[in-house]
């Protein structure tokens, strides 16, 4: 078998596994169908199935993704009887807001709940004249990266396209950013980083569908240049992501030797550093104008020495790269400490001197539960606490 056959077989295996964790059907208990998350073709097929002309799908697309309208009766270009017919058969939904917290630095974090009661986190990180929404792709995660709080939560299921797009749409609701700002207009929610809970390339089909909806020029219309997908290094899916979606790539690297990376990012045992970096070298569209971001969480005394910075520079040779240095954000029970500021700066200097931009990420949202996955854990703990209190109250009766 050639290498190409092997990675094709591996891709098939990954997609088959993803299907085992498929989201629930997008149909409500009353039989109405969720329209968010359908591709244009699927939306057209739904319209044809109820005896409507295909142009109806174009109209709906505009109202759903450009105007952000969830109520059919507000879709003013659609005649009243038709609005009623649509409302009978369909729904334009949003995830429910279970919790919303806004930090003093402007970072906003939501815990969104879906119809089956599952929850994920979404974060808005404002910059001076724009901001990024960090969205989740799975409930829990299989990968157990050691520095990551979400890695302590087992994988429950993949999110559907509606749930992935829905996080961004609900974030826009929260900032009143509808209709979609047209070219040139300032946007608060200008970028998306697919970097929240879960490994997006283990839920590729749903993520790809969601990204296509988000990038569609007649709807949300966010260009692929404003989207960055972060992977822990699912090598067989990286080429496909680059070819089909052309979004920016971020790689959770965090270590420069296989021994250490095997421990911090256990997926490395399957796809070691050399294979991962080769996949980066051939990532379609990577160039000096569109560099690959390498995420490097700074763990005190673990991966933050000058020697490791020099090794990082050696490894990145030939890759249009930038390095994000992320001071570790500790969570209760985490096995690591944040690197000292001196260590972070010394590391950054070495990487910078070699010609790679290496910004040190400011910790954001320190006053809210900002470590990815923390809000969900806290919410579940509170729920369990409430249930235990309720059942002991029942037992006492």
Supply the DSSP symbol for 261: H
- x/- letters, 207..236, toward ligand SF4 (CB under 6 A): -------------------------x----
Q: Show which residues are catalytic.
A: 121, 372
Q: Minimum Å distance from CB 333 to ligand SF4? A: 15
280 binds ligand SF4 (CB under 6 A): no
Spatial neighbors of 222 by CB under 8 A, at least 6 apart, are 190, 191, 192, 214, 215
Q: Minimum Å distance from CB 263 to ligand SF4? A: 13
- x/- letters, 240..279, toward ligand SF4 (CB under 6 A): ------------x---------------------------
- Write the Ramachandran bin of 396: left for phi over 0, alpha for psi from -120 to 50, otherwise beta: alpha
144 binds ligand SF4 (CB under 6 A): yes
Binding part of the chain for ligand SF4, among 141-149, 172-180, 206-214, 217-225 by CB under 6 A, reads 141-149
Report the residue number, 145 or 350, with the smaller CB distance to ligand SF4: 145
Residue 158 neighbours by CB distance under 10 Å: 25
Q: Minimum Å distance from CB 183 to ligand SF4? A: 33
Q: Minimum Å distance from CB 143 to ligand SF4? A: 4
151 binds ligand SF4 (CB under 6 A): yes
Binding part of the chain for ligand SF4, among 171-179, 191-199, 278-286, 385-393 by CB under 6 A, reads 191-199
d(CA 63, CA 83): 12
Length of the chain in terms of residues written:
397
Report the residue number, 199 or 304, with the smaller CB distance to ligand SF4: 199
Among 7, 44, 150, 268, interactor with ligand SF4 by CB under 6 A = 150
- Using the structure block, give the residue that is written with the tokens 């939306």: 43
Report the residue number, 119 or 150, with the smaller CB distance to ligand SF4: 150
d(CA 355, CA 357): 6
198 binds ligand SF4 (CB under 6 A): yes
145 binds ligand SF4 (CB under 6 A): yes
Q: Minimum Å distance from CB 373 to ligand SF4? A: 7
141 binds ligand SF4 (CB under 6 A): yes
Q: Can you give the binding site for ligand SF4, defined by CB under 6 A?
A: 141, 143-145, 148, 150-151, 197-199, 232, 252
């Amino acid at each position: 078998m050639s290498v190409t056959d092997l990675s094709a077989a591996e891709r098939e295996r990954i997609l088959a596994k993803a299907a085992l964790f498929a989201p629930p059907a997008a149909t409500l208990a009353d039989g109405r169908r969720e329209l968010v998350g359908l591709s244009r073709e699927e939306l057209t097929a739904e319209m044809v199935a109820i005896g409507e002309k295909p142009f109806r799908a174009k109209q709906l697309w505009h109202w759903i993704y450009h105007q952000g309208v969830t109520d059919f009766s507000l879709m003013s270009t659609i005649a009243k009887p038709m609005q009623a017919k649509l409302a009978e058969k369909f729904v334009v939904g949003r995830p429910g807001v279970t919790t919303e917290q806004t930090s003093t630095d402007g970072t906003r974090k939501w815990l969104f709940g879906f119809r089956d009661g599952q929850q994920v986190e979404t974060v808005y990180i404002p910059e001076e004249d724009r901001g990024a929404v960090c969205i989740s792709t799975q409930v829990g995660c299989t990968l157990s990266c050691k520095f990551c709080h979400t890695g302590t939560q087992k994988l429950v299921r993949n999110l559907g396209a509606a749930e992935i797009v829905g996080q961004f749409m609900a974030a826009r609701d929260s900032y009143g950013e509808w209709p979609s700002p047209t070219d040139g207009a300032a946007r608060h929610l200008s970028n998306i980083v697919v970097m929240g809970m879960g490994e997006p390339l283990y839920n590729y089909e749903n993520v790809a569908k969601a990204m296509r909806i988000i990038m569609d020029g007649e709807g949300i219309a966010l260009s692929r240049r404003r989207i960055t997908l972060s992977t822990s290094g699912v090598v067989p899916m990286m080429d496909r992501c680059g070819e089909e979606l052309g979004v920016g790539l971020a790689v959770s690297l965090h270590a420069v030797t296989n021994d250490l990376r095997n421990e911090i990012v256990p997926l490395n045992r399957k796809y070691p550093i050399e294979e991962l970096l080769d996949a980066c070298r051939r990532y379609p569209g990577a160039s000096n104008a569109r560099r690959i971001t390498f995420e490097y969480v700074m763990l005190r005394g673990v991966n933050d020495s000058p020697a490791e910075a020099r090794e990082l520079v050696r490894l990145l040779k030939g890759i249009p790269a930038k390095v994000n240095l992320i001071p570790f954000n500790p969570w209760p029970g985490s096995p690591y400490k944040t690197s000292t500021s001196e260590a972070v700066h010394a590391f950054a200097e070495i990487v910078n001197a070699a010609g790679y931009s290496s910004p040190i990420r400011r910790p954001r949202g320190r006053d809210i539960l900002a470590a990815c996955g923390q809000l969900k854990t806290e919410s579940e703990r509170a729920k369990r606490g409430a249930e235990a209190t309720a059942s002991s109250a029942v037992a006492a009766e």
